[in-house]
């Protein structure tokens, strides 16, 4: 009974982590950017979906779409207003650009967080679930919304796989992640590829944010922890490796759920962080890292 409970809850949370981390790792893989405003973009999506549905009363579906749209816009804003100016700058030495991008996106994330707190308070918001009610699975009373979350996450990740491996655009993205210079030599504009990647990222982060808002709820305080959790999943899986992130997301998700059920909810995140430290010792490139 309890084993099934852990299995089911763990799956939903892991799938959500996986979706959140995929976009994060994709951006790093393709353009070398560690986007520390990741959590802020997810929270912006969830809060926008909540505000559209609860304050403007546009309904659950439209609210969710608005949430994803806001994430997409915020992702573009992050790229054009923060990341690109740093990458294009001639005054910042090339070897320092990564640090500048890290700091820039971190500050940008804090700005978004404070804006959300200012306009919508720092209280948790929950997005009205698209499907309500519960079903019994193997004797476990499971909210339909939890199943919905897991299904959407898996579907979106599958679509992403198809996009990357089966379409021309996707192959260009893949190529850029392997050898950016080679891609430019083939006559593809690197900036266009970056825009595509940031668009994919925005949509992924938006869907993850809205689903998180439906499943657990978010507040402006969630910004830091969400960035940190995506970051540690991605580092655990191997920076830039999408499949590594997926595996790591499930490892972390299940480890947290096991701890919460079998030890105490208060210690939920500790074992996963210990595992991260341990993996860094014995395999610094992460589970499926390339280096």
Partner 1 sequence: MNRALSGALRIALGAAATGAVMAASGAALAADPIKIGVIAEAQAIAGASIPQAAQLAADEINAKGGVDGRKIEIIGYDNHSSSADSVRAFQRAVNEDKVNAVIASYISEVVLALEPWASRLKTPFITPGAASNEISKSVHADYEKNKYTFHGYLTSAALALSVCDAAKDLLVDRMHMKSAVIMSEDAAWTKPLDVGYEECLPKIGLKVLDHIRFSPDTTDFTPIFNKIEGSKPDVIITGISHVGVQPTVQWKNQQVPIPMFGISSQATNETFGKDTNQAAEGVLYQGVSGPGVAVTPKSVPFAENFKKKYGNYPSYAGYTAYDEVYYIADAVKRAGSTDADKLVDALEKTDWEGTIGRVQFYGKDDPFTHSIKYGKGLITGLMLQWQDGKQIAVWPKDVAKVDVKFPSFIKLSN
Give me the least distance between CB of 274 and partner 1, in Å please: 17
Give me the least distance between CB of 167 and partner 1, in Å please: 36
Nearest to 28 by CA among 254, 201, 210: 201
Which of 268, 273, 275, 287 touches partner 1 by CB under 8 A? 268
Give me the least distance between CB of 36 and partner 1, in Å please: 20
Count CB neighbours of 273 within 10 A: 16
Smaller CB separation from partner 1, 162 or 274: 274
**257 binds partner 1, rule: CB under 8 A:** yes
Q: How far apart are CA 83 and CA 99, in angstroms?
A: 11
Smaller CB separation from partner 1, 17 or 201: 17
Give me the least distance between CB of 81 and partner 1, in Å please: 25
Which of 62, 92, 102, 126 touches partner 1 by CB under 8 A? 126
Give me the least distance between CB of 9 and partner 1, in Å please: 5
Which residues, numbered 104-123, are part of the site for partner 1 (CB under 8 A)? 117-118, 121-123
HSE-up (13 A, CA, CB side) for residue 123: 6
Give me the least distance between CB of 26 and partner 1, in Å please: 25
Smaller CB separation from partner 1, 30 or 208: 208
- Which window, 49-57, 71-79, 152-160, 184-192, contacts partner 1 (CB under 8 A)? 49-57
Which of 143, 180, 271, 289 touches partner 1 by CB under 8 A? 143
**52 binds partner 1, rule: CB under 8 A:** no
Smaller CB separation from partner 1, 177 or 220: 220
Which of 49, 260, 272, 276 touches partner 1 by CB under 8 A? 260
Distances (CA, A) of 144 to 112, 140, 206, 212, 241: 32, 12, 21, 14, 31
- Which window, 86-94, 165-173, 189-197, 259-267, contacts partner 1 (CB under 8 A)? 259-267
Binding site for partner 1 (CB under 8 A): 5, 9, 13, 53-55, 117-118, 121-129, 132-134, 141, 143, 145, 216-217, 219-220, 222, 225, 257, 260-261, 265-266, 268
């Amino acid at each position: 009974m309890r084993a099934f409970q852990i299995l089911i809850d763990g799956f939903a949370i892991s799938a959500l982590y996986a979706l959140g981390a995929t976009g994060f790792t994709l951006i790093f893989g393709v353009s070398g950017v560690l986007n520390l405003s990741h959590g802020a973009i997810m929270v912006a999506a969830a809060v926008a979906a909540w505000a559209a549905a609860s304050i403007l009363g546009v309904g659950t579906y439209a609210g969710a779409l608005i949430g994803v749209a806001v994430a997409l816009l915020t992702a573009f804003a992050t790229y054009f207003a923060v990341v690109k100016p740093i990458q294009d700058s001639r005054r910042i030495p090339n070897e320092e650009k990564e640090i500048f991008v890290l700091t820039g996106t971190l500050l940008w994330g804090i700005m978004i967080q404070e804006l959300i707190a200012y306009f919508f308070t720092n209280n948790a918001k929950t997005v009205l679930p698209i499907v309500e009610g519960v079903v019994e699975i193997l004797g476990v009373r499971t909210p339909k919304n939890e199943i919905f979350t897991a299904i959407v996450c898996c579907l979106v990740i599958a679509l992403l796989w198809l996009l990357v491996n089966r379409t021309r655009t996707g192959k260009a993205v893949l190529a850029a992640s392997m050898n950016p210079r080679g891609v430019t030599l083939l006559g593809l504009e690197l900036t266009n590829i970056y825009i595509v990647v940031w668009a994919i990222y925005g949509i992924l982060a938006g869907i993850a944010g809205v689903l998180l808002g439906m499943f657990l709820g978010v507040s402006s305080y969630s910004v830091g922890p969400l960035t940190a959790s995506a970051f540690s999943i991605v580092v655990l899986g191997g920076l830039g490796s999408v499949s590594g992130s997926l595996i790591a997301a499930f490892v972390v998700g299940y480890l947290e759920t096991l701890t919460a059920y079998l030890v105490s909810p208060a210690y939920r995140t500790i074992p996963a962080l210990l595992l991260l430290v341990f993996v860094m010792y014995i395999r610094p490139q992460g589970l499926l890292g390339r280096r």
